[in-house]
Amino acid sequence: MSPSSSLPPVLFEASYKGERHVGFGLPVPGTPQTLHRVADGQLAAAFIDTDGSPAAVRTAVTERAGTTVTVAADDPEVRPLPPLLPTATGNALLSGFMGTHKKKWGGETAPEGVEFTPPKWFFKGFGDWVRLPGEPLDVPARPIALIEEPEVALVYVNDADGTPHYVGYTFGNDLCDIGLHRKDPGYNPYCKLCDTALTPWLFLGPPPRSVNGRVSIVRGGATAWEGSFDCGGDALYFRVQDMVEHLFSFPAVRRPGLVNYVLLGADEASFHDGFRIADGDRVAIDVKSHGVTFENTVRHVSPAPLTTSESGVPAV
pLDDT at 306: 79
Domain 83-301 in CATH 3.30.70.890? The answer is no
Q: 265, 237 in Cβ contact below 8 A?
A: no
**Residue numbers of the chain with a pLDDT score lower than 70:** 1-5, 309-316
pLDDT at 4: 57
> Quick check: helix, strand or coil at residue 231?
coil
Model pTM above 0.85: yes
Q: 13, 22 in Cβ contact below 8 A?
A: yes
How confident is the model over 237-254, as pLDDT tens digits?
999 999 999 999 999 999
- Cα 271 to Cα 76: distance, rounded to the nearest angstrom: 36
Sign of the torsion angle spanned by Cα atoms 13, 151, 186, 297: negative
pLDDT at 89: 83
- Cα 80 to Cα 295: distance, rounded to the nearest angstrom: 14
- How distant, in Å, are the alpha carbons of 9, 55, 196, 229, 236 from that of 205? 7, 12, 23, 21, 18
pLDDT at 1: 41
CA 243 from chain centre, in angstroms, equals 17
pLDDT at 73: 87
How confident is the model over 87-100, as pLDDT tens digits?
988 899 999 999 99
Q: What is the DSSP letter of 309?
A: -
- Cα 63 to Cα 117: distance, rounded to the nearest angstrom: 45
Task: State which H helix or E strand residue 179 sits in.
Answer: helix 178-183
Task: State which H helix or E strand residue 11 sits in.
Answer: strand 10-16
Region for residue 127 given its phi and psi (left: phi exceeds 0; alpha: psi -120 to 50; beta: otherwise)? alpha
